[in-house]
Amino acid sequence: MLVSCWSPKGGSGTTVVAGVLALLAARSSASGALIVDVVGDVPAALGVAEPAGPGVLDWLDATTDVGDDALPRLEVDVGRRLRLLARGGRDVSGGAGGVRRAEALAAALVADSRPVIADCGTADRSPGRELASGATLSLAVLRPCYLALRRALAAPLRPDGVVLVTEPGRALQGRDVEDVLGVPVWAEVPLDPAVARAVDAGLLAARLPRPAERALDRALNAVPR
């Protein structure tokens, strides 16, 4: 199972949503879970040290034909039965070879026996684009914002569903997002200052904010296996 989290517009909370989903998946799965970070923000959001070795972008940019069996050797343990496939230090080629490698990565992650959550960022380039399009479930993380909906409509990807980060005072509601995008809202996560405080203190993994945990746990349980 591969669940990709992405947003057509930065600053929507994609990394935090992906991190909470991964922690919940690790807690509920006998085999633990894997989070894949193609943006570079997951270690900071989870409050763990930045991995020093190569990561997923290095595997994608390998000049030799490095197989899928090399991916587990790039993972690091971040505790709570969760492993991290970090970004690494290279940029990925946008050419045909880079796209093929990214598509192969998506296929390998879908076939993984563990739940895999990918933070794809804005998914406007490889490998986030391929991970989002090749996932078991592709989730767009949005605020109920007119500008975000415009970006989502213009995006080259169509999500399977939406995680809506709700804010008080917004005119747009979940049903408006569903009507505009034609996909269901899988979860509504209230904008909660406790989430920002947990991330700033490096305590997101240790102290999941309850509203986000409840909303995203329901969404995770509805993912097709």
pLDDT digits (tens, 9 = 90+) for 69-114: 889 999 999 999 999 999 987 665 555 567 888 999 999 999 999 9
> What's the order of all strands across the beta sheet hosting 82-85?
76-77, 82-85, 33-37, 116-119, 2-6, 137-142, 161-166, 185-190
Among 198, 196, 177, CA closest to 188: 177
107: nearest Cα among 71, 82, 77: 71
Q: Domain extents for the chain? A: 5-221
Flag the least confident range among 95-99, 178-182, 200-204, 210-214: 95-99
Name the residue among 52, 139, 138 with its Cα closest to residue 88: 52
Q: Which CATH superfamily is domain 5-221 in?
A: P-loop containing nucleotide triphosphate hydrolases (3.40.50.300)
pLDDT digits (tens, 9 = 90+) for 43-66: 999 999 989 888 999 898 865 667
In this predicted model, what pLDDT tens digit does every residue of 185-194 receive, in sequence order?
A: 999 998 888 8
The model's pTM is: 0.93
Over pLDDT 90: what percentage of the chain? 60
Distance CA 166, CA 173 (A): 8
Residues 163, 181, 171, 175, Cα dihedral to 10°: -80
Taking a C-beta distance cutoff of 8 angstroms, is the pair 104, 96 a contact?
Answer: no
